Structure 1
Amino acid sequence: MPKKTKKKIRGHKTSQPIFLRLVIGFLLVIGFGFIFMIFFNPLVWRLDLRAELNRSRMASTIYDRDGGEIATLYSKTRLWAPIGQVPPSLVNAFIATEDYRFYQHKGIDVRGIGRALFRDILEGHKLQGGSTITQQLVKNLFLSQEKNIFRKIWEMAYAIRIEQQYTKPQILEFYLNSIYLGHGAWGVQAASEVYFGKPVQRLKISESALIAGLAKGPEYYSPYRNPKAALQRRNLVLKLMGQHGYLASDAIQQYSREPVHTLKEPGTTYVGAYFSDYVINELKRQTHYSESYLRGAGLKIYTTMNRTIQTQAERAINILPAEGPDHWEVIQPQGAIVVIDPTTGQILALVGGRHFSTAEPNRAFQIFRQPGSAIKPFVYTTALESGYTPEQQMIDHPLTITVNGELWRPQNYDNKYRGAITLRTALEQSVNTIAVQLVQRLGPSNVFQVAQRMGLTSLVSSGDLNDQG
């Protein structure tokens, strides 16, 4: 009996090393597979990342009526800032905050990954990221934001290949022009205009620190949405700059005491942002090309925008008294302006809100509103086609009309009635009662048809609520 028991125990012991070896062997195979995919991935090595990155800079350009450049349409409309124009304080702020070993590693930072994993294990949840600036560039330009191990492997492989083909300053230039920094600002040049209303070359050290701090969470650390968090984040960036030798201790204290001085409201990245947005949408509609093609095909797009009028139109919207943000954090009231040359039909200026953002609609053409008195020229055109003349007279007097079973008493804007006046005068003074009488005589459907023929495509022709009466 003892011998039999001994044999059973011996058999159990010998099975443990075999299982352990299988597990270790499996892990080694997986590990070597990861290493191969990261460092020797044939799909990445065959790819000319230099050409791919340069293609990301290939973009169409929109020009105004005088041939002046409005915007360059990268994958996301942005203003490109050559690395030589970016102040050293801004570069240092990003490096100190996002990747302080940027000049030591070759695309991936093994020490940084290990340090991040160690901190995450200690805290019991994800606390630190291990992505280098080069990896972030890869994610911004080539990969999705999805988080999984396979995307991470591709990210590392691309990053190593980019480091082999580009210098550190070149990588920084691509990175600083591709990162999203909130309120529709892609890249540091746009961020400088949005938050401080000036070109990136003129940023102060404390302003550079604020912009660099936005990279971690542009919406949360926005000084407009969360000023306290923005201030704390800026001061943390200043502290990190000191830790990594970019700022002296007395400078950290000095800049940390400065209040955050941004524009009262987010600025516009460039004059004509809403106009450019309309142009892209109109080209998509007319050509049926995708937006990515229109942006990246290297097209020269000439428009009728008058830069002086566009600037004044944007200013007119921006100086409207603000009542504060609504529950969607959009400043109210909003507005829109479209300026058209009546002799040619050319659009000279177009503004769709206070501050351009891809997160908000372009109110100049994407939101339908009641046209108000703007519909009257179609009424008078129908009258002229029906035999009325500009000098023909009608009586401006109080009206009572039954509409859908209810009484309606249209009034003039000044609450005055002029008696007998010509149609020319009625149109010039936007007299409501004359326009209403004309629609009654001509018939709503006839006015509807004329408006459609003249290009008004948003009218509703049928249904319970329609524009034909």
Structure 2
Amino acid sequence: MKDYSGYAVYYKKNGLEYPYGVISENYECKAISEHYPSNIKSYLIQIEDRRFLNHRGIDYKAIIRAIFENVMAGKITQGGSTITQQLARNTLGNNEKTFVRKVRETLKALEFEQNFTKDEILNLYFENVYFGKNLRGFRSAGLYYFGKDIKALSNQEWLFLLTILRGPNYYINNLERSKKRYNFLSKELLDKNLISKNRHRKNINSEIKPSSNKLNVLRNVVAPFIVNRVDEKGKKLISTIDIDTQSFVSNYIANSKYPVSIIAFNKNEVIAFGSSYGTDYPFISKSNVGSTLKPFLFCYLRDNGVSVNEKFSAFSNSLKWEVREVEKYKAMLDLEEALFYSNNNSFINAVSKIGVQKTLIFLSDLFNREQSDFFPSSILGATKKGISIYELGLAYSMFFSKHNITDSKLECLTVLNKIFRNKLKLDIENAFLKTGTTNDNKERFAVLGNPETTFVILRNENAVADYSKEGSFFKEIRRNFSSYFSSKTNYKWI
């Protein structure tokens, strides 16, 4: 798998690209770039370390000057750290004001100077400097505060980022102070002939309005599942994320009483995802998925000779398995009734008629897995390696694609719409729902959607492993999805 760490992730809306997050293996938002403007590097040197090009990591004159100024002021007003020392501090990740930390910082700075050119040190600085929040580097700061990438930042926006360097949180919360420092720095750049009078005038007359464009941290393992296009030169991933659906999913997770993971598909592409356990959880965590496989089995059985009127025992099965049923039923159920009530015995009996091994081959093809991953109990949703909610959602999205609807699938969807209406109390045509429980009822699955969008929800850690307690799960789904689904929309599969 390619390492996309540091790549910025974008989503598209109305034909335009907007930043969504950064690929990172820790909590920090660190977006990397291969190019930082040379004039901005000159500004940085003038503002932070005028003798940067001449010293070897430690500027003794600056240290002596800082000591003198601090003594005269009666407090610490200046530091003597060079750009290289600041880089060392940022990479060490330790801001404690101790002698040991200062020694480590100095040694690290000397190491940088020995192993890198001055320009390489500047690039590393631009990439690693801390900007408050969980932001690292100028690119992340530009994406967060202005919603813009490196090349799109204006001269005024670059100067603002240089302005807040010494105290990002302080200056962001004191915009009047930041404006004064901004004007001061612009005048200093003018005095050193680094900018023109016209540029200085534009700087001081400009009104900089930083914002808070939340940047999400995504694990590298997520990238292949959401990438639509890769811009290697710009270190960008253009994703399949639909921001409105993503906001809906994120709010659902944030307001859930229990840990929950959700993924959403449209046209077989991931358009939203999230989890209480981390962004990678929907893709890498696998478990048994219970009765959520029954709709696939229903269609397979109907396509292979099981008639709509044929009934099967709901109380026992030909394989002599002891299985738990959620409710009591009639003694005999046809396939539509078995699907509606999610009766295990009836499905075992129907599969036994067609052939267990043939059915397992169908499931392995459906999930693009080795046949050895499936065994007889896969009829009830168990597999050797488990199934992720990404795999489950993709299977539903592809199997029930609007362009791939058959008579058996329409029969199945009619039953799933009845389940949707019964469980969620929402009167919506052609929306579907199928649920499943595993791990002694501590994991609850719900696959639902309409002809356009498929959602998979996994709720974990149900405190009471009691089958009579499923009401709260459906209430939570209904509360959230009643606003997502429109009762006025007449959804159509064909």
TM-score between the two structures when normalised by the length of structure 1: 0.52
Return the alpha-carbon distance in structure 2 between the equivalents of residues 131 and 432 of structure 1: 62
Which residue of 1 is the match for residue 91 of structure 2?
Answer: 141
1:452 correspondence with 2:452: no
Deviation at 1:266, TM superposition (A): 2.2
Native 8 Å contact 2:142 2:148 kept in 1: yes
Return the alpha-carbon distance in structure 1 between the equivalents of residues 280 and 97 of structure 2: 37
Which residue of 2 is the match for residue 87 of structure 1?
Answer: 37
Deviation at 1:187, TM superposition (A): 1.1
Equivalent in 41, 44, 57 of residue 107 of structure 1 = 57
- 1:286-305 matches, cutoff 5 A: 303-305=224-226
The alpha-carbon distance between structure 1 residues 467 and 240, as it changes in their structure 2 partners (threshold 3 A), is: farther
Return the alpha-carbon distance in structure 1 between the equivalents of residues 72 and 327 of structure 2: 82
Deviation at 1:62, TM superposition (A): 8.7
The alpha-carbon distance between structure 1 residues 343 and 88, as it changes in their structure 2 partners (threshold 3 A), is: closer
Question: Match of 2:463, as an amino acid?
Answer: V
Question: Match of 1:80, as an amino acid?
Answer: I
Deviation at 1:130, TM superposition (A): 0.9
In angstroms, what is the RMSD of aligned CA positions? 4.9
Deviation at 1:230, TM superposition (A): 3.4
Native 8 Å contact 2:141 2:161 kept in 1: yes
Deviation at 1:135, TM superposition (A): 0.3
Equivalent in 186, 201, 206 of residue 258 of structure 1 = 206
Deviation at 1:261, TM superposition (A): 3.9
Deviation at 1:453, TM superposition (A): 7.6
Query: Any idea what the Cα deviations from partners look like across 1:402-450, whole Å, max 9, x if unmatched?
Result: xxxxxxxxxxxxxxxxxxxx9755423355569xxxxxxxxxxx99945
Unaligned runs of 5+ in 1: 1-57, 65-69, 281-300, 323-329, 331-335, 353-360, 367-375, 395-421, 435-445
Question: Match of 1:178, as an amino acid?
Answer: N
Return the alpha-carbon distance in structure 2 between the equivalents of residues 115 and 348 of structure 1: 56
1:117 correspondence with 2:67: yes
Which residue of 1 is the match for residue 186 of structure 2?
Answer: 238
Instruction: Give secondary structure in 1 for the equivalent of 2:54.
Output: coil
Deviation at 1:208, TM superposition (A): 0.8
Native 8 Å contact 1:80 1:187 kept in 2: yes
Return the alpha-carbon distance in structure 1 between the equivalents of residues 441 and 239 of structure 2: 31
Return the alpha-carbon distance in structure 2 between the equivalents of residues 302 and 447 of structure 1: 29
Q: Percent identity?
A: 21
Equivalent in 106, 112, 122 of residue 156 of structure 1 = 106
Instruction: Give secondary structure in 2 for the equivalent of 1:339.
Output: strand
The alpha-carbon distance between structure 1 residues 227 and 467, as it changes in their structure 2 partners (threshold 3 A), is: farther
Which residue of 2 is the match for residue 427 of structure 1?
Answer: 419
Larger radius of gyration: 1
Instruction: Give secondary structure in 1 for the equivalent of 2:225.
Output: coil
Deviation at 1:123, TM superposition (A): 1.4
Q: Number of residues paired by the alignment?
A: 308
Native 8 Å contact 1:120 1:127 kept in 2: yes
The alpha-carbon distance between structure 1 residues 382 and 132, as it changes in their structure 2 partners (threshold 3 A), is: farther
1:187 correspondence with 2:179: no
Which residue of 2 is the match for residue 30 of structure 1?
Answer: none
Deviation at 1:61, TM superposition (A): 8.0
Deviation at 1:128, TM superposition (A): 0.8
Unaligned runs of 5+ in 2: 10-20, 230-237, 255-259, 282-290, 296-323, 341-413, 427-436, 446-457, 473-494
TM-score between the two structures when normalised by the length of structure 2: 0.50
Deviation at 1:260, TM superposition (A): 0.6
Instruction: Give secondary structure in 2 for the equivalent of 1:115.
Output: helix
Native 8 Å contact 1:140 1:179 kept in 2: yes
The alpha-carbon distance between structure 1 residues 448 and 427, as it changes in their structure 2 partners (threshold 3 A), is: farther
1:314 correspondence with 2:243: yes
- 1:19-418 matches, cutoff 5 A: 73=24, 76-82=28-34, 85-142=35-92, 144-222=94-172, 225-262=173-210, 265-269=211-215, 273-274=216-217, 276-277=218-219, 303-305=224-226, 307=228, 311-316=240-245, 338-341=262-265, 349-350=272-273, 390=336
Larger relative strand fraction: 2
Return the alpha-carbon distance in structure 1 between the equivalents of residues 328 and 84 of structure 2: 67
The alpha-carbon distance between structure 1 residues 226 and 318, as it changes in their structure 2 partners (threshold 3 A), is: farther
Instruction: Give secondary structure in 2 for the equivalent of 1:349.
Output: strand
Which residue of 2 is the match for residue 373 of structure 1?
Answer: none
Question: Match of 2:147, as an amino acid?
Answer: G
The alpha-carbon distance between structure 1 residues 194 and 449, as it changes in their structure 2 partners (threshold 3 A), is: same
Return the alpha-carbon distance in structure 2 between the equivalents of residues 313 and 342 of structure 1: 9
Instruction: Give secondary structure in 2 for the equivalent of 1:266.
Output: coil
Deviation at 1:362, TM superposition (A): 8.0
Deviation at 1:86, TM superposition (A): 1.2
Question: Match of 1:78, as an amino acid?
Answer: K
Return the alpha-carbon distance in structure 2 between the equivalents of residues 312 and 63 of structure 1: 13
Deviation at 1:197, TM superposition (A): 2.1
Question: Match of 2:213, as an amino acid?
Answer: G
Which residue of 1 is the match for residue 284 of structure 2?
Answer: none
Return the alpha-carbon distance in structure 2 between the equivalents of residues 213 and 306 of structure 1: 35
Instruction: Give secondary structure in 1 for the equivalent of 2:272.
Output: strand
Return the alpha-carbon distance in structure 1 between the equivalents of residues 127 and 8 of structure 2: 21
Return the alpha-carbon distance in structure 1 between the equivalents of residues 160 and 83 of structure 2: 18
Return the alpha-carbon distance in structure 2 between the equivalents of residues 342 and 448 of structure 1: 29
